[in-house]
Amino acid sequence: MIYSSLFWFIMKKNILVKMLVLLVFLFCDNTIAQQGAIARATGNSYIVFDGFSLHEPQKLRQKCEFFSKALHVQAPAKILAKYEDACDVFKSEEELKRQKASEKYQYFVYVKINPDQSQEVKIEDWSIPKTNKPQIFKIENSSPQSQEKIFQEALFQENDNFLRASLETTLFLTMGFIYYWMTRDANRQDWEINWDWESWKKKLVTFEAVTLDNNTLMFNSPFHAIGGTFYYLAARSNNYNILESLLFATASSAIWEWFLEYREKVSINDMIYTPISGMAIGEVFSHLGEFFEKSAPTASNRIVSTLFSSLSKFNNWFDNKKPRSSRQLDALGLSQEIWHQFKIFSGMSHGTVEKSTGASGFNDTSNNEIIFKDNLEIGLETFLVNVPQYSKQGEVSKVLTDGNFTEMFLRSELGEKGLQYFRLFLKAALAGYYKQKIEKSESGNLNGYSFFIGASTATDFDYKDIVKKDFIGVVNIIGPTIYFQYFHENWRIQAVLDVSFDFAYVSSYALDEYTKNHKTDGIKTSLIKHGYYNAFGATARPKLVLQYGPAELGGQLAIHYFNSIEGHDRFQEEVTNDFNLSDKSLRYEGWLGYKFLNNRYQAVLSAVQDRRSGVIDEIKSSSKETSYFGKIVILF
């Protein structure tokens, strides 16, 4: 298959060393020292972890400092353990055999230190019923830095799941191609080129056939994001890291654009939007699926896990790997190894929407229109931090590269006309530096701080139908992100800042006013056909939350600015009036909350103001929506 071969060429050249086995973070320095002391006092001991066990020789105590670094490895499956609480020590091989039979643990690692101080490592995967051939490596006696590098390479093996990832991606592409040809009558209008040298020259040499398409908003934004998610997860669920999975998604999108849709011009916007939005959604889904997989094996957790990570579930089933729940579960059966905060909320809102069409904006009340609204609000919010020590006592300083901070926010409003507002936001912090220094006071409260600074990506779908139908589909391509929290007795302060460079599909807010007095001949084809334009832009999102006991006071701001892209229309030769457009969106929000019933519920009062504006030449249209919400939030 031609696209499988292309995948092989692209990925083989960029691949990093892959995981054969899914490892956990082992000890922190103090934990290793304590277990080393046990081994020295009792002879060989079997130290067993959630999903991992280590046969520790007597002389391992001499290598405590080295192993605390060398074994501090992060697996692509993100199986993390709370070291002190997840450790068991067994004194005999008989007990170890019983633990293996219990199917509670997945991996066994035997570390042997030879007389010449070299180390041999043997890894067995207990999740596979048939005996695995153990992988044996030898680390020569050299500098600690060299040993660390060699030891980590010993634990990392060339991934043997490239073929499966390629086959799964090929399946998605084939399904899309079949649907494409089943609906060829609708697609035929886009067929402008052929499978000949002149057409390929325009695609690959002159790039005359590489343009911005003018498909519908629904097709370009949600549908392509879904496709990108499948491409990304095909790689991520086969143990590829974030960068490799993004390359996989980008290659898949390129194969679709250049080869499967060979009768059409290549879409620049699809090549940007599909893989980046797929990465943001796929990374959030991957972590959510893993979280519920590690939670109690209830029907609801298994269903949710399958919903978010069906490919991983299939791959584990194919490999005959049984899911293993964490031993650290809360009262609801949710894993405590991954810090989590889930919110389900519902309430009522009352507000006004003021629309202005004058050049002077809201200062000219003669052109203003006021609309009143009373809506029902329903929503969901998730926040996962895949750092075992997060918000717990201890010191941490490490580089994170596995999408360890992920968020999802879903909110909708229902009014007299049905769905009047819908927003879906997904964000993943891809990599960065995390530092924490938190102590516990005599009163049992936390004191200290933690912060993360790194790079993130996100995708944001925002739809409104109050004054008029308005849609913005944004992908935050890349940008810095900061998470900060400070603890002092009953106080907790949280701050978040996101800044990003964006690509977006934007409904022009000034288009209706423009068309009242201007002809539409020769304007951008996506604008005249569907009312939107392709844009680059920027986003800034600061947030601050103050908590004292059960009380909470918070505020956040979201600023979006978009500017249209000129000169690359699919039918650029027909665009004789290629004017510039710009749009802005500002959202201010403040809230006051109070938790009750063992902090499982929260009552929240909030005020929100949304400002939306658009400009075409001298024409400006804007609106100001002010809403007041009262809602009940379920926390878990």
**Residue 192 belongs to a domain:** yes
Both 567 and 595 in one domain: the answer is yes
For position 121, what pLDDT does the model report?
55
Least confident window among 328-332, 587-591, 607-611? 328-332
Q: Name the domain boundary from 137, 155, 173.
A: 155
Q: Tell me the mean pLDDT in the region 85-104.
A: 59
For position 378, what pLDDT does the model report?
97
Structure tokens at 156: 């990392």
Both 41 and 173 in one domain: the answer is no
For position 395, what pLDDT does the model report?
93
Structure tokens at 420: 């009047």
**Residue 330 belongs to a domain:** no
Both 349 and 305 in one domain: the answer is no
Higher pLDDT, 379 or 373: 379
Both 9 and 63 in one domain: the answer is no
Q: Could you list the residue range(s) of the whole structural domain that residue 224 is in? A: 2-16+160-318
Whether pLDDT at 369 is above 80: no
Least confident window among 45-49, 370-374, 624-628? 45-49
**Residue 56 belongs to a domain:** yes
Both 303 and 426 in one domain: the answer is no
Structure tokens at 404: 């360890």
Give 29's pLDDT tier (boundaries 50, 70, 90). very low
Higher pLDDT, 408 or 119: 408
Both 480 and 590 in one domain: the answer is yes
Number of folded domains that form the chain: 3
Is residue 294 within 8 A of residue 271, CB to CB? The reply is no
Whether pLDDT at 428 is above 90: yes
Mean of all residue pLDDT scores within the chain: 80
Of 177, 252, 179, the C-alpha closest to 4 is 252
Buried b (16+ CB within 10 A) or exposed e, 104-128: bbbbbbbbebeeeeebebebbbbbe
For position 448, what pLDDT does the model report?
97
**Residue 260 belongs to a domain:** yes
Neighbour count for residue 70 (Cβ, 10 Å): 22
Both 530 and 626 in one domain: the answer is yes
Give 634's pLDDT tier (boundaries 50, 70, 90). very high
Both 197 and 256 in one domain: the answer is yes
Both 480 and 360 in one domain: the answer is yes
pLDDT digits 0-9 by tens, 549-592: 999 999 999 999 999 999 999 999 999 999 999 999 999 999 99
Amino acid at site 251: A
**Residue 34 belongs to a domain:** yes
Whether pLDDT at 625 is above 70: yes
**Residue 326 belongs to a domain:** no
Give 97's pLDDT tier (boundaries 50, 70, 90). confident
Is residue 534 within 8 A of residue 269, CB to CB? The reply is yes
Q: Provide the percentage of residues in the chain whose pLDDT is more than 90.
A: 57
Both 149 and 178 in one domain: the answer is no
Whether pLDDT at 417 is above 90: no
Whether pLDDT at 57 is above 70: no
Structure tokens at 157: 């093996």
pLDDT digits 0-9 by tens, 173-200: 999 899 888 888 878 888 888 888 888 8
**pTM of this prediction exceeds 0.85:** no
Q: Name the domain boundary from 136, 155, 174.
A: 155
* Distance of alpha carbon 402 from alpha carbon 459, whole angstroms: 18
For position 187, what pLDDT does the model report?
80
Q: Tell me the mean pLDDT in the region 448-458.
A: 98
Residue with tokens 């040809």: 181
pLDDT digits 0-9 by tens, 114-162: 666 555 555 555 555 444 444 444 444 444 444 444 444 444 443 458 8
**Residue 135 belongs to a domain:** yes
**Residue 509 belongs to a domain:** yes
Is residue 576 within 8 A of residue 557, CB to CB? The reply is no
Give the torsion sign (CA, 43, 46, 49, 51): positive
DSSP characters over 173-212: HHHHHHHHHHTHHHHGGG----SSHHHHHHHHTS-TTEEB
Which segments of 43-139 does DSSP mark as H helices, in order? 64-70, 93-101
Both 479 and 621 in one domain: the answer is yes
Give 111's pLDDT tier (boundaries 50, 70, 90). low
Both 394 and 282 in one domain: the answer is no
Three-state DSSP at 339 gives strand
DSSP characters over 43-89: SSEEEEETTEEEEE-GGGGGGHHHHHHHT----TT-----TTTT-EE
Higher pLDDT, 88 or 322: 322
* Distance of alpha carbon 317 from alpha carbon 164, whole angstroms: 13
pLDDT digits 0-9 by tens, 215-268: 988 889 888 999 999 999 999 999 899 999 999 999 999 999 999 988 899 999
- Residue 355 makes CB contacts below 8 A (sequence gap 6+) with 368, 369, 370, 371, 467, 621, 622, 623
Q: Name the domain boundary from 155, 188, 212.
A: 155
Residue with tokens 């006991």: 549
Higher pLDDT, 541 or 49: 541
Whether pLDDT at 632 is above 60: yes
